[in-house]
Amino acid sequence: MPAEAVVEVRDLRYSIGGRAIFDGLNLTVRRGEITAVMGPSGTGKTTLLRLMMGAIRPDSGDLTIFGERPWRLGRAALYALRRRVGMLFQNGALMSDLDVFENVAFPLRAHTRLPEPLLRRLVLMKLQAVGLRGAAEFATGSLSGGMARRVALARAIVMDPELLIYDEPFAGLDPISLAVILRLIQTLNATLGITSIVVTHDVEEISQIAHSSFLLAGGKAAAHGTPAELRATEAPVVRQFMSGLPDGPMPFHVPAPDYREQLLGKD
């Protein structure tokens, strides 16, 4: 029996300035699973996250997270919802005026009244989980991209969220850091049972650990299934993306006037 849905998206439509970002999107995230949300750049993956977190509202259709429609919630209820979700931003988004320890401690200080020794232990435990306990005193500016992202991950899990959202966690990382993050995502999911949504276009990497994948194209879920199913599918859009082909349903050439005419002029 499939696990319950943490996030349910039904027939979602959303456009900005006349351009349709989502045109009937259907997507489900099941509890305890790693769900990959893939797609070429500009298909609205980040917009989906903002809809999920209640930052924007859809034009039509339905989106529920933990059974709630986030855009309908008042500020207090919305904040309560957000406390159940940990989010890892693409560039880490650490507070530049705090050191590593204080960054991870930030949500604890903001939402709890834990005594200092207990708070300290929690922070160190989370830093240990991402392998950065020795970097607790480091200044944020001195961290490499990979380390910054790991600190951000420690911060995202410090409140023991039920859902973790990773926004492009592999972007711009060297192979070693990449492997580290991959392993962390998998470990956190396996040991703590945290439902995880990974938004990415690194097909190879995410296919190794995802339970369920959705490929967004043309404002819809062009394909979904396990990574193996997606790799085996015949649909041209999916083929092009999964195999990394330069030309296909996503054309290489941007629409342009006739080549000969533009080059040689109209005779």
Partner 1 sequence: MARGGNVLGRGLAKAGRVALFLGRILGQAIPSLNHPRLLVAQIYNTGARSLIIVMLCGLFVGMVLGLQGYDLLQRFGSESALGVAAALGLVKELGPVITALLFAGRAGTSLTSEIGLMRATDQLTAMEMMAVDPVRRVVAPRFLGGIIAMPLLVAIFDVVGIYGAQLIGVGLLRVESGSFWSQMQSAVEMRDINEGLVKSVVFGVACSLMAVYEGFHAEPTAEGVGLATTRTVVISAVLTLLFDYLLTAAFLNS
- Smaller CB separation from partner 1, 13 or 83: 83
219: helix, strand or coil: coil
> Least distance from C-beta 159 to partner 1, angstroms?
8
- Smaller CB separation from partner 1, 103 or 189: 103
Q: How far is CA 229 from the centre of its chain?
A: 21
What part of residues 209-248 is at the interface with partner 1 (CB under 8 A)? none
Alpha-carbon gap, residue 13 to 22, rounded angstroms: 5
CB 43 within 8 A of CB 217: yes
CB 56 within 8 A of CB 71: yes
- Smaller CB separation from partner 1, 95 or 179: 95
CB 163 within 8 A of CB 87: no
Q: Tell me the C-alpha to C-alpha distance, in Å, between residue 37 and each of 34, 112, 195.
A: 10, 32, 13
Assess 55 for contact with partner 1 (CB under 8 A): yes
Q: Would you give the DSSP letter of residue 92?
A: -
Residues sharing a CB contact under 8 Å with residue 15, sequence separation 6 or more, in sequence order:
21, 22, 59
What part of residues 34-53 is at the interface with partner 1 (CB under 8 A)? 53
- Smaller CB separation from partner 1, 25 or 156: 156
What tokens were used for 244?
A: 């990394």
- Smaller CB separation from partner 1, 45 or 220: 45
Assess 95 for contact with partner 1 (CB under 8 A): yes
Task: Give the binding range for partner 1 (CB under 8 A) out of 3-11, 62-70, 103-111, 182-190.
Answer: 103-111
> Least distance from C-beta 89 to partner 1, angstroms?
5
> Least distance from C-beta 103 to partner 1, angstroms?
10
> Least distance from C-beta 53 to partner 1, angstroms?
6
Assess 66 for contact with partner 1 (CB under 8 A): no
What single string gives the DSSP state of each residue in 175-207? Answer: HHHHHHHHHHHHHHHHHH--EEEEE-S-HHHHH
Alpha-carbon gap, residue 187 to 27, rounded angstroms: 24
- Which listed residue (40, 107, 145, 146) binds partner 1 by CB under 8 A? 107
> Least distance from C-beta 17 to partner 1, angstroms?
16
- Smaller CB separation from partner 1, 91 or 142: 91
> Least distance from C-beta 5 to partner 1, angstroms?
21
What part of residues 128-157 is at the interface with partner 1 (CB under 8 A)? 155
The H or E element containing residue 215 is strand 212-217
CB 117 within 8 A of CB 106: no
The contact set with partner 1 (CB under 8 A) reads: 53, 55, 78-80, 82-83, 85, 87, 89-91, 93-96, 106-107, 110-111, 155
